[in-house]
Structure 1
Amino acid sequence: MRFSGRYFLVLIFSIALNSFAQSNFEYGGYAKYLFGTSKIPQLTERTYDHIFHSRLNTKYFLVDAFSLTAEFRFRSFSGSSVEKIPDYASLIKTKQPLFDLDWTIWNTNKSIGYAEVDRLYLDYNANQFQVTLGRQRIAWGTSWVWNPTDLFNPLSILDFDYEEYPGTDAFRIQYYTGAVSKIEFALATTREKDKLTAAALLSHNAFDYDFNFLAGVKNNLWIAGFSWAGDIADAGFRGEITFQQKPKKLIEYENLYLTYNLLPLSYKNQAQISFVLSGDYTFPNSLYIQTEILYNNIGTKDYAGLFIQEAAELGLLSPSRFLIFQEFSYNISPLSRISVFGILNPDDNSIVIVPSLSYSVITNLDLYVVALIFEGNNLTQYGNYGNSVYTRIKYSF
């Protein structure tokens, strides 16, 4: 069953037009242009692509305790990828959790226009209670790179051009027991009957640390977790761990792996454990270092590139057993910053290296240059993506 989001969009635009001149209406956003060139193994020639991206964020205060948030993004794609990659429109489409709030404006051999509403929620906030209903982002993690406790909206650090990250269609209630402590419950469902996620979170601050305890159901399997965030000698120290009921067998992957004499991840007869340990430190001269480690007990040591889709269906952040992240950043000047980070799979020795440079040209106008360099043998975790370089100019309002 599919749900249309057109009526929601008409409602939001009506409210925006009627309220634009009033003080209880807020708006902002940005417009940006991204140029990218890539050399990937699937294509013989280098690709050259152009993406124009605009975003509008709106918030309307209905009464003192109620507000309505709607955020829109529009992107147009043109260049080699549109022309040479079959069904490219399906690759750029954002997965719609429950309601259809996206539209392909045009789709030709030369370009594609795609619009979506990635935030649309009603928020009630009074006294210690906050209730939110609609498409929203629920971020429960404490680490910077991998968040196994983010049951609703796990992110990818390699998706550098989507700062807001996707949301989910959910009901969420929060009760604040103190300035930095709360009890929270969230429920999200999708069109797929086996993809229900419902969980409760308890947050508490003690010994200058934030501690979080969670329990619930994800993909109709029980899950429990714990996370913390604090510091040791002025260095950030964070971690997350989740325990999940052993996954259901995904039969559709069995034949795929027979060629390589491999056992699907879902066939491992054990509970699923994911663990992240993270630390970071900023020196007085602005040099910033960060290290993070991810461990999956049912992850694979070999042919991790084969298991990416299966791992995603199981709720794993990676198909591999171990991943190691390392970052170094430094402020060249008050207006510019250089950074490089790498993610290594120590079992198959594949790696991605991401150097970048950001520069504030003038107020509200920023330049960003980034490269994604993937290295590894065929079918390793990072061995089949090639190399890409992107340049982005962004104006915020």
Structure 2
Amino acid sequence: MKQDIHKILLLTGSLIFAVVQNTAAQGEVDSSQGTIEKTKHWVLNGYLKDLQSIQFTDIKKKWTLDNLVHNRLDLHWYADSLWKIHVGVRNRLYYGESVPLYKQNKKLLGANNDFFDLSKTIVSGESFLLHSTVDRASVDFTKGKWQVTAGRQRINWGVNLVWNPNDIFNAYSYFDFDYEERPGTDAVRIQYYLNSTSSAELAYKPGKHSGETILAGLYRFNKGSYDIQLLSGMMNNDLVIGGGWSGTLGQTGFNGEITSFTPLKHFQLSKTILSASAGINYTFPNSLYLHGAYLLNSAGILHADSLTANLLLNNVSAKSLSPSRHSLFVESAFQFTPLIRGDLAGIINPSDGSFFASPFITFSLTNSMELLTGGQLFFGKMNSLYGGYEKIILLRFKWSF
């Protein structure tokens, strides 16, 4: 175990040192031409975050204290004008009272959407756990209008700002706010750019077991003030047909997605499940931002409860982005000063009246440092969708490099 820890620390320290060296080498002096930029064949960046959290059901009762130290490293290597390689690593050190829960349920460490297992718990104790994941590892070849990417990557087919029924390869949970890059998947993706506003692509994700394969194609084009996309293929054991749009209604942003999932075995249209979302957003001249969205899950239940639908397990898919049939999202944000931004978002389950609220304030300390404070607050009756969870107060420091 000690050897594993030493290896992780040595690798992390070496890469951070390389960032400093790379920054210093970005320019070189030429006596005849002055300072010129040196061509870089590789770029290394990332961040280091410390997230403190307090959980409680009643602020006057027991508090659960936890801490997460989160380091990310992204290496981009540009071999030449045609080839590039991307490797991304997440190193997370958990310590506190919730560590036993992470040991009991590994889904809390992240959804497993990968053909290859590149995640490992390096070392753990009674009150701490060090976990490392390679969530990006891809080779990209681009020539002319063609682009081919193979390996662990993010295939982003979503256009809605909250819920993405078109994101059939790597759907993500809105509650996992600290995972900014969002999950990827092991796949091969071929893209062909017809012109500046239209493209076609084909993607394939192999499955470890029968019924876990995804094969689909997508076509994007522009019509008037709207970007439109159409997709079709196979997701697990379902025939998938869908589409999405993004544009404006006057000065208001308008976007949405819809995808149908029909079982291929004993094919019946009556068994089709529909997942659809739509959203609008508007920014006032004084920087006030308003955003609303709606999600339909035709297979969702009207009386879900938090005991049967664990929202924190990150086990969402494009077919089931929420356990409830209807979901409403509202958000308001405001730039108080150039360095301070506030955001208040919420999700409502209209079937039982329970709701989730997420207030955050971000302080920009320097160009590379920020402080965020806020919470994830759940309200409702104990047998409602959002009623059975603890409230979480958060404080996060982030340094980007």
CA distance in 2, matches of 1:163, 1:280: 21
Q: Which blocks of at least 5 consecutive residues in structure 2 are unaligned?
A: 1-7, 26-38
Q: CA deviation at 1:379?
A: 3.5
Contact 1:214 1:225 in 2 (8 A): yes
Q: Which moved more, 1:199-208 or 1:44-53?
A: 44-53
1:240 is matched with which residue? Answer: 257
AA of the residue aligned to 2:203: A
Match of 1:374 among 378, 382, 396: 378
CA contact (8 A) 2:237 2:264 kept: no
Instruction: Report the TM-score, using the length of structure 1 for normalisation.
Output: 0.86
**Structure 1 unaligned residues grouped into runs of 5+:** 1-8, 250-267
Which residue matches 2:228? 211
Which residue pairs with 1:144 in the alignment?
A: 161
In structure 2, what is the Cα distance between the partners aligned to 1:121 and 1:83? Answer: 33
Measured in 2, the distance between the counterparts of 1:128 and 1:313 equals: 31
Amino acid at match of 2:162: V
Deviations 1:112-145 (A, max 9, x none): 1011110000001111101000000011111000
Task: Pick one of 344, 349, 367 that aligns with 2:348.
Answer: 344
1:177-209 Cα offsets, whole Å, 9 max, x none, are 111210011111232321111110000011021
Which of 378, 393, 397 is matched with 2:397 structurally?
Answer: 393
CA contact (8 A) 1:104 1:115 kept: yes
Preserved contact between residue 304 and residue 319 of structure 1 (Cα < 8 Å) = no
Aligned with 1:91: secondary structure? helix
Amino acid at match of 2:85: L
Q: 1:72 to 1:313 in 2, by over 3 A?
A: closer
Alignment of 1:44-63 (within 5 A): 45-63=62-80
Q: Counterpart of 1:358?
A: 362
- 1 CA distance for matches of 2:353 and 2:347? 10
**Are 2:99 and 1:79 equivalent residues in the alignment?**
no
Q: What is the number of equivalent residue pairs in this alignment?
A: 364
The question of whether the paired residues in 2 share the 8 Å contact of 1:89 and 1:112 is answered with: no
Secondary structure at the residue paired with 1:45? Answer: coil
Q: How does 1:111-190 map to 2 (within 5 A)?
A: 111-190=128-207
Q: Given residue 65 of structure 1, which amino acid in structure 2 is its aligned partner?
A: L
Amino acid at match of 1:188: K
Cα deviation, residue 241, structure 1 = 0.8
**Aligned: 1:286 with 2:303:** no
Other-structure match for 1:299: 300
Letter in 1 for 2:351: D
The code of the aligned residue for 2:367 comes to: T
TM-score by length of 2: 0.85
Moved over 4 A (4+): 19-22, 83-86, 246-249, 309-314
Q: Determine the structure 1 residue equivalent to 2:325.
A: 321
Q: Which residue of 1 aligns with 2:4?
A: none
Following superposition, the deviation at residue 315 of structure 1 comes to: 2.9
Cα distance change, pair 338–158 in 1 and its aligned pair in 2 (3 A): same
Q: CA deviation at 1:74?
A: 0.4
2:123 to 90, 98, 106: 106
Q: Deviations over 1:285-343 (max 9, x none)?
A: 00000000001222111134355379947831011110000000001101110110110
Question: In the aligned structure 1, how far is the partner of 2:57 from the partner of 2:264?
Answer: 33
- Separation in structure 1 between the aligned mates of residue 357 and residue 100 of structure 2, nearest angstrom: 28
Greater displacement, 191-200 / 305-314: 305-314
What is the identity percentage for the equivalent residue pairs of Structure 1 and Structure 2?
34
Counterparts of 1:391 and 1:248, CA distance in 2: 48
1:45 Cα deviation after fit: 3.2
Change (3 A) 1:237 1:155: same
Preserved contact between residue 165 and residue 318 of structure 2 (Cα < 8 Å)? no
Contact preservation (8 Å) 1:304, 1:320: no
SS of 1:305 mapped into structure 2: coil
The 8 Å contact of residues 230 and 243 in structure 2, kept in 1 or not, is answered as yes
Give the C-alpha shift of residue 371 in structure 1: 0.7
State whether structure 2 residue 37 is matched by structure 1 residue 37: no
Partner of 2:114: 97
Alpha-carbon distance between aligned partners in 1 of 2:398 and 2:103, rounded to the nearest angstrom:
29
Deviations, residues 71-95 of structure 1 (Å, cap 9, x unaligned): 1110100011115776265632552
CA distance in 2, matches of 1:134, 1:128: 20
Partners of 1:150 and 1:269 lie apart in 2 by: 23
1:255 maps to what in 2?
Answer: none
- DSSP 3-state at the match of 1:99: coil
Q: Identify if the C-alpha distance between structure 1 residues 198 and 307 changes in structure 2 by more than 3 Å, giving closer, same or farther.
A: farther
CA distance in 2, matches of 1:375, 1:248: 40
Structure-2 separation of matches of 1:382 and 1:93? 21
What is the CA RMSD across the aligned residues, in angstroms?
Answer: 2.7
C-alpha deviation, 1:102, in angstroms: 1.4
Which residue of the partner structure matches residue 308 of structure 1? 309
Q: Which runs of structure 2 are paired with 1:189-204 in the superposition (5 Å)?
A: 189-204=206-221
